[in-house]
Amino acid sequence: MLNVEIKEINLTQIEDGKYIGRYEVFPVAVEVEVAILDHKISKIKIIEHENGQGGSAEVIIDKVIEKQSLEVDVIAGATYSSKVILKAIEDALDR
């Protein structure tokens, strides 16, 4: 399993706008665009997801938006891709 720490993001410190983030750990690579409006995640778009078997992990973006947090459960059967997607979102918002 991918053993990485996913930091929580303080949304109150992030200005409105769109932010691009990327994270890659072979064989998974993810690039996302995260839209912030009124210090909330309004949309996450997956620009690229080279995922091997982890395509089902993409639903994790809905969990992040719903919870407004990166502290969400990973998708069963797609743990590796789930973590890489979360790290890409973190990269986009870690200012």
Main-chain phi, psi angles of 18, to 5 degrees: -115, 135
pLDDT higher than 90, residue 87: yes
CA angle (78, 69, 7) in 5-degree steps: 80
Q: Which two tokens stand for residue 49?
A: 């997801």
Distance (Å, whole) CA 58 – CA 45: 10
pLDDT at 7: 92
Q: Is pLDDT of 95 > 80?
A: no
CA angle 24, 27, 29 (to 5 degrees): 30
Decide if domain 11-93 falls under CATH 3.90.1010.20. Answer: yes
Digit-coded pLDDT (tens) for 22-75: 999 988 999 999 999 999 999 999 999 998 777 899 999 999 999 999 999 999
